[in-house]
Amino acid sequence: MTVNAEVEHSLHGEVATYAGGVHEVADGCLAYLQPNGGLGEANVGLVVGDGATLIIDTCWDHAQARRMLAAAAPWLHGNPITTVVNTHSNGDHWWGNAVMPAAATVITSAASRAAMGRENRLAIAAMTTAAGLAARLPLPQAIRSFVTDAHAEFGPFDFWRVRPRYPDRTFSGSLRLTVGNRTVDLVEVGPAHTPGDLMVFDRDRNVVFAGDILFIGQTPIMWEGPARNWIDALRLILDTRPAAIVPGHGPLATETDVTDLVSYFEWLDDSATRLCRNGIPPFDAAAQMLSSDTFTESRWARWRRPESLLAGVRATYRHVRGHRVRIHPLDMIATMRGIQKLGNRFAKDQRRQ
């Protein structure tokens, strides 16, 4: 059974490019998809066992989490959520935890748990409110575009009402769980997208819930790296020859999507390492890479937000230079501003062609 929500528009107001709502990808394995997989439009997975359900990720705010639970309600009847898994520390995957049943156990990797403490919900809430107010003011163009972009990105979410609920249980490496009659393995594969990424494997139905190791139809954002870890995680998905692959953002994935990501990260790693050793600043390196023939002739060029490459270039530079890998929040903001600047330049170049 598949219940597609009547999602005609994404949360950001774009026309939906694929069906949202609950998809039963295998017996008792559900994917709740949120078109178009942009910022905060994260997918959720459910493994429905006999009398118990495991849920994978919980949305960015409470209203969004409640909509998701309402869509999944037909399956949850008689099979309550007993286990909540957060695939990583970004808020769009765990700030809905408080909406899950109080009796459920919340689990993540120890590295993600540590990183969750550094996610600043109130700063994002304040920035969203400020951006909403500032968007109405006469501002210089450079500041104006940053403010209106921030308002468009964060505006659909209510961060003030989010009550953080941190995981009760952590692990490192891997953890096998029994949910009703189902066996599920959690496998830590970070640091890659974030410090403690994990993926969930339903061994009975051979389904992978990949979290943000998979962004489909858009450029992945590598905050932490190294790219090698991300490539290893992608190979782990391919090794299981999965019957279904649920990404963290975007429509259901195919094996070709996963191999495209392997080649993208190999290119990113090789090119950024070389340009770093040649002394090219990261912004210029990312701009060069996006205008290279390898990029423009690749399938990656069709992914949305190619400028997100800059985060991966900066992360690769930190690894090549042997810097401490943990990202400072100010560094993250600098990266986001750089991504925006690169996006504007890239769009201008595209128009000229």
Residue ranges in contact with Zn ion by CB under 5 A:
42, 90, 92, 212
- The H-assigned helical ranges of 119-254 are 121-134, 141-154, 227-239
In terms of CB distance, is 92 or 224 closer to Zn ion? Answer: 92
In terms of CB distance, is 64 or 90 closer to Zn ion? Answer: 90
In terms of CB distance, is 82 or 128 closer to Zn ion? Answer: 128
Can you tell me the distance from the alpha carbon of 162 to that of 62, in angstroms, rounded to the nearest whole number? Answer: 6
Q: Minimum distance between the CB of residue 197 and Zn ion, rounded to whole angstroms?
A: 10
Can you tell me the distance from the alpha carbon of 327 to that of 333, in angstroms, rounded to the nearest whole number? Answer: 10
Q: Minimum distance between the CB of residue 57 and Zn ion, rounded to whole angstroms?
A: 8
In terms of CB distance, is 87 or 271 closer to Zn ion? Answer: 87
Q: Minimum distance between the CB of residue 246 and Zn ion, rounded to whole angstroms?
A: 13
Q: Minimum distance between the CB of residue 119 and Zn ion, rounded to whole angstroms?
A: 12
Q: Minimum distance between the CB of residue 259 and Zn ion, rounded to whole angstroms?
A: 22
Strand ranges in the chain using DSSP code E only, listed in sequence order: 2-3, 21-26, 29-33, 44-48, 53-56, 81-85, 105-109, 169-171, 174-179, 182-188, 198-202, 207-209, 244-246
Give the gyration radius of the chain's Cα atoms. Answer: 20
With a CB cutoff of 8 Å and minimum separation 6, the contacts of 153 are 12, 39, 40
Which DSSP string corresponds to 81-119? EEEEE--SSSGGGTTTGGGS-TTSEEEEEHHHHHHHTT-
Q: Minimum distance between the CB of residue 313 and Zn ion, rounded to whole angstroms?
A: 20
In terms of CB distance, is 42 or 244 closer to Zn ion? Answer: 42
What DSSP state is assigned to residue 303?
S
Q: Minimum distance between the CB of residue 50 and Zn ion, rounded to whole angstroms?
A: 30
In terms of CB distance, is 28 or 38 closer to Zn ion? Answer: 38
Report yes or no: 257 and 345 within 8 Å, Cβ to Cβ. no
In terms of CB distance, is 212 or 269 closer to Zn ion? Answer: 212
Report yes or no: 250 and 37 within 8 Å, Cβ to Cβ. yes
Which of 70, 67, 71, 117 is closest to 94 using CA atoms? 117
